Structure formats: structure tokens, C-alpha cells
């Protein structure tokens, strides 16, 4: 039997939709936040964090709502972009991937018999891998199939290497911070997504 979504669930899911919008545009407000020309987008960080804290179902819902709101016209994608055109563009796969990444991270937390720091790190890294697997492959397909730009498959991965390094570092930070954040969010309620750190 599926757990009923409560008002608190909706509040937390909405919070992560807002955090995704902020994280995707952090360099639009603070352009100096770049490393070697790579913008420090926090969207993957908040996506994975949603999975760690909310569980697979609620985290995936929050990422889906983020995507739908952006498609509907809310300027919440990177560089304050919006619309379906962003989804079919070369970075659209990353937006789609957030739904699956949050679900995978949440699933690992839920299925773990004993939640530890290792579990958080495993779930966070798995979520980040999903983001880059879907996002990079989608970028390669979009450029070569319907956007008319030729790019070698290896070049697609090389292009994303600096971004991936940044996000895996953020993933580690995310995993370290998540246990205390989980306790703060759910201190009056038990959620199957995580639990106390052993």
C-alpha cells in the first residue's frame, strides 16, 4: 500500500523545486562562482540531496514538478531559460535525468538495512552517475541526430569531464551533510528513505 502524501511532504517537495531553480542559476546571480570557466551549478547537488532526504517517490516527484514548471514557462532552468525548447536542446537530458537520479538515490537509501555514511556516499554517487549517463548520452544524440552538429561520442564525455569532477566533489559534500539534515527535517517523523546514521 502506497504511503499517502501529506502536507509536510508537499512542503518539502516544493522546497526542493525552489532549491533546484536557485541552484541551476547560481552563476547567473554570482558569475564569479566558476572554476576554470566551468559554472558551479548546484542543480545536481540539490537533486541528489532530494533523493537522500525525501526518498525515491517524493524526490522524483519534486524533480518532475521542477521540469514541468520550466517547460510551462517558468524561467527556472539554467540561465533563467524556460520552455520545451530547452528539453530538446543539448542540455535537456540533464533536466530529464534529475528525475531518475533522485529516484535512484532515494531507492538506495530506502533499501539500505543499516544507514551509514557509506550508504549516503553510495546513494549520492549513484545519483550523480545517473545524471551524467543520461545527460551526456542525450547531449550526444541531440547534437548528432536533430540539432545537426557533429560530435564524437568520446568528445561528448571529454566535454563533460570538468562538470562531472565538480559534481562528484559536491556529491561527497552532500553525503556528509545529509545525515544531520535528515534528522533536522524528519525529527518528528520516521521516513523509510534514510534514518539514523549508525
- C-beta of residue 58 within 8 angstroms of C-beta of residue 13: yes
pLDDT of the residue at 183:
85
Q: Which residues contact 25 (CB under 8 A, 6 or more apart)?
A: 76, 78, 79, 80
Q: Where are the alpha helices (DSSP H) in 55-116?
A: 56-72, 84-87, 92-111
Residue 35, by phi and psi: left (phi above 0), alpha (psi -120 to 50) or beta?
beta
Residue spans of beta strands (DSSP E) within the chain? 34-35, 38-39
Rounded alpha-carbon distances, angstroms, from residue 79 to 21, 22, 28, 66: 10, 10, 6, 15
DSSP-derived 3-state class of residue 91:
coil
pLDDT of the residue at 175:
94
Sign, Cα dihedral of 63, 57, 119, 50: positive
Nearest residue to 153 via CA among 144, 162, 161? 144
* CA atoms of 39 and 37, how far apart (whole Å): 6
Q: Which residues contact 162 (CB under 8 A, 6 or more apart)?
A: 35, 36, 38
pLDDT of the residue at 113:
77
pLDDT of the chain, 198 residues: tens digit per residue: 567 888 989 999 999 999 999 999 987 767 766 654 556 789 999 999 999 999 999 999 999 999 999 999 999 999 899 999 999 999 999 999 999 999 999 999 999 877 899 999 999 999 999 999 999 999 999 999 999 999 999 999 999 998 899 899 999 999 999 999 988 887 655 444 444 443
Helices (H) and strands (E) in the chain, counts: 8, 2
Residue 83, by phi and psi: left (phi above 0), alpha (psi -120 to 50) or beta?
left
Q: Which domains does the chain have, with CATH numbers?
A: 7-185 (1.10.1760.20)
Amino acid at each position: 500500500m502506497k504511503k499517502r502524501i501529506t502536507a509536510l511532504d508537499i512542503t518539502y517537495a516544493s522546497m526542493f523545486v525552489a532549491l533546484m531553480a536557485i541552484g541551476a542559476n547560481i552563476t547567473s546571480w554570482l558569475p564569479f562562482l566558476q572554476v576554470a570557466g566551468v559554472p558551479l551549478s548546484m542543480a545536481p547537488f540539490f537533486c541528489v540531496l532530494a533523493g537522500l532526504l525525501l526518498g525515491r517517490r517524493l524526490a522524483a516527484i519534486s524533480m518532475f514538478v521542477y521540469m514541468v514548471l520550466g517547460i510551462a514557462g517558468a524561467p527556472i532552468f539554467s540561465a533563467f531559460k524556460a520552455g520545451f525548447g530547452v528539453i530538446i536542446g543539448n542540455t535537456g537530458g540533464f533536466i530529464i535525468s534529475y528525475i531518475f537520479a533522485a529516484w535512484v538515490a532515494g531507492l538506495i537509501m530506502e533499501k539500505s538495512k543499516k544507514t551509514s555514511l557509506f550508504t549516503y556516499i553510495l546513494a549520492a554517487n549513484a545519483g550523480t552517475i545517473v545524471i551524467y549517463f543520461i545527460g551526456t548520452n542525450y547531449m550526444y544524440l541531440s547534437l548528432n541526430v536533430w540539432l545537426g552538429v557533429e560530435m564524437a561520442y568520446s568528445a561528448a564525455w571529454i566535454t563533460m569531464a570538468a562538470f562531472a569532477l565538480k559534481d562528484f566533489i559536491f556529491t561527497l559534500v552532500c553525503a556528509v551533510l545529509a545525515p544531520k539534515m535528515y534528522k533536522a527535517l524528519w525529527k518528528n517523523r520516521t521516513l523509510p528513505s534514510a534514518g539514523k546514521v549508525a
